[in-house]
């Protein structure tokens, strides 16, 4: 365990539970640490944006960043429960593996899924992650953000190849995202795993913002062009109904591209 990280997280939780501004000496007493260590911990939290210091009293309190992230987690959880019936209906109609995903930095995270009952099926895992530029649901969300090539580079970092089909050039990725946005869905043709293809469509909220993506993982043996187009039609209908559930009005103009909806690439541990 990283003791420094654990100490910082414990200090944040302790401050939140106090529900008031706190002094350095109080934190030192609560954790049995030297005052200098407590001061260093609090200053690090301030510099990282997790705490703020009152210049008049020199006391500390948690920043609103905690509220912001907590609200995002709550929203993701609510989205999953609200959209589950739509995923179930799509899974029954297509017989393929269906999942709901959100962006987290340069990756997507699977919030929910329905497995295919067919003998040959694609696999994904709730809570699992995948490189956003390699999977259809990630591409759908990147396309909805409308990022320029420099912004994509800033958000994603290096495009590492995961299969021989992975896109590793930002110009190529940009063009792929433009095509995805124009036709209404994104494709993955064995870019994340050999033998597995996929489709993805963004889900919009009441403000027209892409907050999640409905995805479909399909074995490559069932992903001919005609099959893919038919599955895409089902997927787009599902995403449209899911968006309506979140308050989106069909026919309303989607929100403009929002680079701020995607955070910088998470650095490897």
- CATH number of domain containing 123: 3.30.450.40
Residues 94 and 174 in one domain: yes
Residues 190 and 121 in one domain: yes
In this structure, the strands spanning 97-104 and 210-219 are antiparallel
The predicted pLDDT at position 120 comes to 63
- Residue 243 inside a domain? The answer is yes
Residues 50 and 154 in one domain: no
Residues 158 and 229 in one domain: yes
- Residue 242 inside a domain? The answer is yes
Domain containing residue 228: 73-261
List average pLDDT for each run of 10 residues in the chain, which is 269 residues long: 82 90 93 92 92 92 79 67 92 93 91 83 76 96 95 93 96 96 95 94 91 93 85 95 88 53 36
Residues 149 and 251 in one domain: yes
Q: Which of 63, 81, 101 is a domain's end point?
A: 63
The predicted pLDDT at position 167 comes to 96
Residues 244 and 122 in one domain: yes
Which residues make beta-bridge pairs with 114?
Answer: 98
Tally the domains of the chain: 2
Residues 51 and 93 in one domain: no
Q: Which of 63, 83, 112 is a domain's end point?
A: 63
Tokens of 162: 């995961």
The predicted pLDDT at position 118 comes to 77
- Residue 135 inside a domain? The answer is yes
Do residues 231 and 216 lie in contact, with contact meaning Cβ atoms separated by under 8 Å?
yes
Residues 227 and 159 in one domain: yes
Residues 174 and 112 in one domain: yes
The predicted pLDDT at position 76 comes to 60
- CATH code: domain of residue 23: 1.10.10.10
Residues 130 and 30 in one domain: no
Residues 127, 175, 160, 259: is their CA dihedral positive or negative?
negative
- Residue 68 inside a domain? The answer is no
Residues 14 and 142 in one domain: no
- Residue 128 inside a domain? The answer is yes
- Residue 59 inside a domain? The answer is yes
- Residue 213 inside a domain? The answer is yes
Q: Which of 21, 40, 63 is a domain's end point?
A: 63
- Order the strands of the 97-104 sheet from edge to edge: 129-131, 107-114, 97-104, 210-219, 196-204, 186-189
Residues 127 and 49 in one domain: no
Could you tell me the pTM of the whole model?
Answer: 0.68
């Amino acid at each position: 365990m990283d003791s420094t990280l654990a100490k910082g997280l414990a200090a944040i939780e302790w401050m939140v539970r106090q529900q008031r501004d706190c002094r350095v000496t109080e934190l030192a007493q609560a954790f049995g640490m030297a005052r200098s260590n407590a001061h260093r911990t609090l200053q690090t939290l301030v510099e990282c944006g997790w705490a703020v210091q009152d210049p008049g009293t020199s006391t500390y309190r948690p920043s609103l960043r905690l509220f912001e992230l907590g609200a995002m987690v709550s929203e993701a959880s609510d989205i999953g429960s609200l959209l589950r019936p739509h995923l179930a209906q799509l899974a029954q109609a297509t017989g393929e593996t269906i999942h709901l995903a959100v962006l987290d930095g340069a990756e997507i995270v699977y919030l929910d899924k329905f497995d295919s009952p067919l003998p040959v099926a694609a696999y994904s895992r709730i809570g699992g992650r995948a490189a956003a530029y390699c999977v259809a649901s990630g591409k759908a969300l990147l396309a909805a953000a409308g990022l320029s090539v420099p912004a994509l580079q800033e958000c994603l970092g290096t495009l590492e190849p995961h299969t021989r089909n992975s896109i590793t050039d930002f110009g190529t990725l940009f063009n792929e995202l433009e095509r995805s946005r124009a036709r209404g869905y994104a494709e993955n043709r064995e870019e994340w795993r050999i033998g597995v293809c996929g489709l993805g469509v963004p889900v919009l909220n009441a403000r027209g913002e892409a907050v999640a993506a409905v995805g479909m993982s399909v074995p490559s043996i069932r992903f001919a062009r005609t099959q893919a187009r038919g599955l895409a039609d089902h997927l787009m209908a599902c995403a449209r109904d899911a968006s309506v559930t979140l308050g989106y009005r069909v026919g309303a103009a989607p929100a403009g591209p929002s680079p701020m909806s995607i955070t910088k690439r998470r650095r490897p541990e």
